[in-house]
Chains A and B, each alone.
Chain A
Amino acid sequence: MITIENLTVKYGGVVALDSLTLNISDDVVGLIGPNGAGKTTLTNAFSGFAPVTDGKVVIDGVNLLHMAPHKRACWGLARSFQKVQVVDDITVADHLRTVLTANGVPRSARNARMSEVLDFTNITDERDTLGADLNPFQKRMTEIAKCLIDRPRIILLDEPGGGLSEGEMQHLRFIIRETKSRFGAQIIMVDHDVDLIRDVCASTAVLDFGKLIAFGPTEDVLRDEAVKAAYLGR
């Protein structure tokens, strides 16, 4: 259960999130809205990268905002970025090892964990490939593998579907649907692809100008007139 209460983020004069209040309990929750609505800002507020001026984010009774950013990760918050953040000169396995070390996963468990997530994300063959030599899909999958490997409670995905082909999208859908049952993590996913959101998200929140304009079961939200006007443009 994630409780967001009165969350406000300001960049100078720009109010990127305006007193946002939201309770999230579904396994996969979508977050949509036009460009500049504050979607990335919300994920950044979770991670500790956005200047939060008010409010709280409480997950399982813990207020995230009181923790240093890296401690939030160790506590169980994982995320991917809108722009993929794969490091060129280390291998896929090294990306995963870094997360395992940082989160204090015991050595004995590391190899099994690594094989498990590599298999799940379909990049077992790229285990020893350098970041620079991965294709865009493999980069995305490396990021998702990084998210999964320390068994987080929550995973934030910021536009994971950007630039993927139809076949690759199918695999992404599979990963998102299976994550809760296999790894126990709840997912909040930002994306512009309404079909993807419709397929995988039980409920969806819509932001516009930093304000929540709709929240509920995905189908209902996508039919909402205000949402259509603000976002879907039809």
Chain B
Amino acid sequence: MPRSQITPLAILLIGVLILPLILSSLWVKVVTSAAIFALGAAGISVLFAQLGLINLAQIALIGVGGWVALRLNYATPLPFTVIVVIAGVATAFVGAILALPALRMRGLYLALVTLMAAGAFQILFNAFQFPNGGEGFWGVARQSAADIRRPSVAQSDVGYLRYTLVIMAAGFGLVALHRITGPGRAWAMIRQSEANAMAAGINVTFYKIWAFALSGLLAGIAGALLSGALGQLDARSFLASEGILLFALAVVGGAYSWVGAIIAGVLYKLLPALLNDWGLSADLALILFGAALLHAIMTAPRGIAGQLLGALQRKPS
């Protein structure tokens, strides 16, 4: 097995074995959320690093995955893991639809289109809320929420953290697999020049849609995991502005490696919780994010992960 795979697997093993032992029950929940959003951020990174495309609607897509998962949880007896997969695939389709404008647009215009999509989902989530065991298609009940099933190996919060970490790692693995095989090579060529890619026989439309679908798949899985973690989803967590924030953090963390996605998840969920814990306002996080974004734009185009990995590589072994 090449070294490039040993390190992440070792880190995963340590995370799965050690983290649950050292974290208090509150922090187990926070770290679970951070891992879930790291997975979502990985989808943003795929589009940004591989194709230079900006997707501000990832939080909305996570909401879509969460909605599908809750809906299936209450409407069917399917096991949780199956629900996670279905939510992922369904959201991949939504992501692919989002790709349609991307076929003609880039840069700022595409960013605006995804932002508008995120806004539309924000309105939908607000209007219909998330299923909580009620009647009818939308499944919203006035009384308190019914239970959401978790997988048998992950009934406890600690078990669920482990489950989440393993799925997150599998998601990262899927992205890595794409990067080193056909789609990654095709994306690299498209990024260089669409004309050059077409001249080589690459179906540019197909591979762009595929990238968005992959990004949607990761968002959908993240959304399903989130529903299992929280038991209930709140429309207020899926504002369009959150999509901008997660995108910014994916860039700050570093879009070119899974380390960056983890940093993004940690910044998004862990940092505000830490500030809270220290008695500081969680809004302070926004100021820190802004500074970090400026830092990334000006001095670290490959993000914090790029700087960390660069430092590790430079260190003589």
Contact = CB atoms under 8 A, between A and B. Distances in A.
Contact of B189 (A78, A87, A103, A150): A87
Contact of A103 (B192, B195, B201): B201
- Chain A interface: which size bin? 20 to 34
Interface string A148-189: 001000000000000000000000000000000000000000
Contacts of A69: 195, 198-199
B202 interface: yes
B196 interface: yes
A39 interface: no
Contacts of A94: 185, 188
Interface in B187-229: 188-189, 191-193, 195-204
Nearest to A150: B201
B182 interface: yes
A104 to B, nearest CB: 9
Contact of A47 (B191, B192, B199, B203): B199
A98 B188 CA distance: 10
Contact of B196 (A48, A77, A81, A90): A81
Contacts of B182: 97-98, 101
Contact of B199 (A79, A88, A90, A97): A79
Contacts of B186: 98, 101-102
Given A70-B203, A98-B182, A101-B182, A48 B198 contact: yes
Contact of A99 (B188, B195, B201, B203): B201
A99 B185 CA distance: 10
Contact of A101 (B185, B198, B204): B185
A150 B193 CA distance: 20
B198 A47 contact: yes
Interface in A68-101: 69-70, 73-74, 77-79, 81, 85, 87-90, 94-95, 97-99, 101
B198 A70 contact: yes
Interface in B162-199: 182, 185-186, 188-189, 191-193, 195-199
Contacts of B191: 87
A102 B203 contact: yes
Contacts of A88: 192
B198 A90 contact: no
Nearest to A46: B199
Q: Which of A69, A99, A150 has the most CB of B within 10 A?
A: A69
A5 B188 CA distance: 36
A70 B185 contact: no
A97 B200 CA distance: 11
B156 to A, nearest CB: 43
A70 B193 contact: no
A33 to B, nearest CB: 21
A95 to B, nearest CB: 8
A103 B203 CA distance: 10
A49 interface: yes
A81 B199 CA distance: 10
Interface of A: 47-49, 69-70, 73-74, 77-79, 81, 85, 87-90, 94-95, 97-99, 101-103, 146, 150
Interface of B: 182, 185-186, 188-189, 191-193, 195-204
